[in-house]
A and B are shown apart, each in its own frame.
Chain A
Amino acid sequence: MKLSSQVAISNSDTEQEKRVLEEHVKAQEEMLARTTTYLMQVQEQLEASRKELFEQNKSLERMVDRRTAELKQAVAKLEKEAQQRESAQQSLYIANHELNTLLYRSSHDFKGPVSTAFGLLSLIGDRIENPEVREYVQMLQHPLRKLEQLTRTITTIADIRQSQASLEQTDLTPLLDKILAGFRQQQAAQYPAPDLSIKGSAVLRTDEYLLENILQCVLDNAFRYRKPATEHKVNIHVQPYYKQLKITVSDNGTGIPQNLQHRVFDMFFRGSEQSVGSGLGLYLSKIAVDKLGGRIEVRSEESMGTSVCILLPGL
């Protein structure tokens, strides 16, 4: 190759390199300009996002402040209500205590004069010769006996409410015999011998006084509310039930109307206008069972009879 040709090629290469270099520089300039614009856009977006975040943060802070203030108010209100409730509870406790004391004292105070009046009336009755006056005196004995019974029941309720349960090993069998003997002694004709069945041990750790009163009331109801012209039957069923003693007293008496059954444990509840009891028997039984940590349920069907189930711990 001639030298002139070599020089021409060399010049051509140099021009080519120069062109590429110029393109390179131009490409870099454009690239940097594009990147700068892009970064500015990104920065603007970031700034907008930052502002938005700042506003959201401020809004959140305001919300938190408002909620905190509301919560503080609510807490203050709750504290005030709690104080009022505590004060009301204290007042209720005092009132309850005073009522219990009044009940306890007045029932015991009634007991003496009623017994004295009853005794004196018996004495007077023997000495009256006028038959009409004697009849009036005998008539007076009936309401006085009712008053004596009511006073006795209220005294028992007061005693139960005032005292703590005193637990001792108690055998239910002789206790039932004693209660049933008492009923027979009062009026044998009205208290037919119940059908008694005791399965397993009937010895449990309980308060005998409370248990006696429970059974006394439940059995009194079972014997009392009988249907006319029907052979009255009372069943007493005793059996262990998961470390408890289950005592079921059922009768075929008048029963309790369905719409009144939810009130059977209420104070002074009577199943019908014809009821002659004090209306305190099942109420007394319930507070005594509660005191023993047990459970009492009544199932009844009008004109068919009633079943009272008592579950007592301590077996």
Chain B
Amino acid sequence: MSAFQQEIVDQNLQQVFSNDYVAVYTDASKRVLVCQTLASYIPIHTFKASFLQCSGLIAKEGIERFIFDKRSLRAFHQPSMEWYFVNWKQEMYHEHGLRIHRKILPQEQWFQKCVEAGRHEIEQRHPENIFSKLDITYTGSIAEALHI
């Protein structure tokens, strides 16, 4: 069990589903959904399928806080991320009122710069997006993401 998975155990989160690339957990009492990546790269069709499965849970459980733990990733697939930012988040906000997003990035500075560059490009291409309406914060651990 990785250290990241150990954090899930420590927080008593229940697994909802998983595949080779992601594992999704919940704490229904807290209306929290955690999506933890398991591989260094996620193909776009798996990424979209996993997030669409999360959409169903968000609608069903009335999820108010979504935690995306990307610590295993080493490749930032721009089309996936653009879809995640522009389509999925927007739909979650307008359809289900999901506003609170907590993200956990790998410790490596170079990867964080890559994320910054990717996000900058998305913001440039979609200036009218709802970024400002969302409560997005980067945290260092699952425990922190659950409370901040």
Contacts and interface: CB of A to CB of B under 8 A. Distances in A.
The yes or no verdict on A and B being binding partners is yes
B134 to A, nearest CB: 22
Interface stretch (B88-96, B112-120, B136-144): B112-120
A31 B76 CA distance: 6
Contacts, number: 43
Contacts of A54: none
Interface string A32-60: 10110111000000000000000000000
Given A31-B75, A31-B78, A24 B40 contact: yes
Nearest to A19: B43
A31 B77 CA distance: 7
A124 interface: no
Interface string B38-57: 00110100000000000000
A20 B78 contact: no
B77 A27 contact: yes
B41 A23 contact: yes
A24 B114 contact: no
A30 B78 contact: yes
A23 B76 CA distance: 11
B12 to A, nearest CB: 33
A169 interface: no
Contacts of A275: none
A69 B116 CA distance: 48
A23 B78 CA distance: 12
A197 interface: no
Given A24-B75, A39-B113, A31 B118 contact: yes
A24 B113 CA distance: 18
19 contacts: A20-B41, A23-B41, A23-B77, A24-B41, A24-B75, A27-B76, A27-B77, A28-B41, A31-B76, A31-B114, A34-B78, A34-B117, A35-B110, A35-B114, A37-B117, A38-B113, A38-B116, A38-B120, A39-B117
